[in-house]
Amino acid sequence: MSKTVILRGLVGAASAVAGAVALLPGAAQAAYVCPANAFCMYKNLNATGTVSVQAALNTGASGYLEDFRNSHYSNGESLENSVSSVVNNTGGFVYLYDEWKRQGTWVVIYPHSGTTNLDNATIFPPDGNPYKGNYNDRLTSAWIVYR
């Protein structure tokens, strides 16, 4: 390999590193703000961390996601068993489930309710009375319903 080729390679690598750094969010960068009329799911509490704004839950009409294994955050990670907070800026009721296909226990997120952390939620069992519990990192399906 000639000296010229090696130098070109080094310059290319340096440019790639500079480009990657420019794309990385800064540590102090504000969390993604969920837009008006949108429903957003966040990996961390208090509407922080990587975010997911799923098309099926953001049409302005009722819709659902049956299996979070097929859905992802903006950084590419799976939603399955990892959502910690949600923001509901829509006029719909959002039902969040801990099993696929809207099965198992569920949590209700009321219309225009802003940020909800799932670590201290009111959980509804399929039968019996609702209770307070930890729903953090448990979501696997969701349903938005406009009444």
Q: Which residues are near Ca ion by CB under 5 A?
A: 43, 82, 84, 137
Rounded to the nearest angstrom, the gap between the alpha carbon of residue 92 and the centroid of all alpha carbons in its chain is 17
Whether the CB-CB separation of 51 and 74 falls below 8 Å is answered with yes
The minimum distance between CB 9 and Ca ion, in angstroms, equals 40
Cβ closer to Ca ion: 57 or 79?
79
Alpha-carbon span 130 to 84, nearest angstrom: 20
Cβ closer to Ca ion: 59 or 81?
81
Cβ closer to Ca ion: 15 or 134?
134
The minimum distance between CB 79 and Ca ion, in angstroms, equals 10
The minimum distance between CB 20 and Ca ion, in angstroms, equals 25
Residue nearest to Ca ion (CB): 84
Rounded to the nearest angstrom, the gap between the alpha carbon of residue 136 and the centroid of all alpha carbons in its chain is 12
The minimum distance between CB 82 and Ca ion, in angstroms, equals 5
Cβ closer to Ca ion: 82 or 116?
82
